[in-house]
Amino acid sequence: MATTNTVTVTLQQLAKTIDHSLLHPTMTDSDILEGLKISREYKVATACVKPYAIPLAKKELQGSGVLVCPVIGFPAGNSTTEVKVFEATAAVRAGGEEIDMVINVGKALGGDWEYVANEIRQINEAVVREGAILKVIFENDYLEDKHIIKLCEICSDIGVAFVKTSTGYGFVKQANGQYSYKGATIPHLKLMRKHTKPQVQIKAAGGVRTLDGLLHVISLGVTRIGATATAAILKEAVARGITDEPTTVQFTPIGGEGAGGY
């Protein structure tokens, strides 16, 4: 007998699961303004922006209930801990309310967990001290399961608000010279939920571009996604009868491996 995949959600819940991503390096101020308009119109959780765009986002989103979410150490995570702490502190003081930071991937791959943990702890303390919360980006495409599990344990011990799969830009060079990217995958999301304490939330970024994808990851315990397809996802939700009342909706599971990108 075929398994029926269903989840009960509201339209507002779906909107507040989305960080609308405005991070592509080619985005102009006009592009960012258009993205902020979408963020405001659909009342998403946050608009995820590059640090220089914080004042613009703060101005455009004022009174909307949509938070400003800057990224730091983005997308490679290679700045020194001191620079990341400074950047995170400055981002919150400028108006950031949630901060998405990228770990030092090379240190994680090399097993220097003391460095990795110390950096996350310092940034988390700086962000929380200023009244914001921290999401820690692993960049799973570069990592093995053992690294992801260890990062989940570290982030759980520190008590960060979220762990996050990817930046959306962690392309891996293949043997043929081409670059590919998976982003948030179902196996990795299950792994992260299993090895992270319940109070630490999961953000899926990269590859969740449809309503079915969003419903599927919600069913796994994901509470936030990064997306550029916000309008399409929420328009489809309305078309499928999801309202502000709890609605049970069937979804088609997405594949085990994501397609990458936002």
Q: Tell me: the pLDDT tens digits for 190-243?
A: 999 999 999 999 999 988 999 999 999 999 999 999 999 999 999 999 999 999
Q: pLDDT band for 178, please (50, 70, 90 cuts).
A: low
Q: Are 11 and 59 in contact (CB under 8 A)?
A: no
* Inter-CA distances, 211 with 50, 60, 62, Å: 26, 27, 28
Alpha-carbon 154 to chain mean position? 18
How high is the pLDDT of residue 177? 74
How high is the pLDDT of residue 172? 61
Coil, strand or helix at 227: strand
Q: Between the CA atoms of 118, 124, 128 and 130, what dihedral angle is there, to the nearest 10 degrees? A: 90
* Inter-CA distances, 209 with 79, 254, 261, Å: 30, 10, 9
- Which token pair is 104? 């030092």
For 138-177, what is each residue's pLDDT tens digit?
A: 999 999 999 999 999 999 999 999 999 999 877 666 777 7
Report percent pLDDT > 70 for the chain: 94
* pLDDT > 90? residue 180: no
How high is the pLDDT of residue 259? 46
In whole angstroms, give the CA distance from residue 198 to residue 164: 14
For 38-70, what is each residue's pLDDT tens digit?
A: 999 999 999 999 999 999 999 999 999 999 999
Q: pLDDT band for 109, please (50, 70, 90 cuts).
A: very high
The answer to whether the Cα torsion of 82, 79, 202, 194 is positive or negative is negative
Mean pLDDT across the stretch 21-39? 97
How high is the pLDDT of residue 255? 74
Q: pLDDT band for 89, please (50, 70, 90 cuts).
A: very high
Report percent pLDDT > 90 for the chain: 88
Catalytic residues: 100, 164, 203
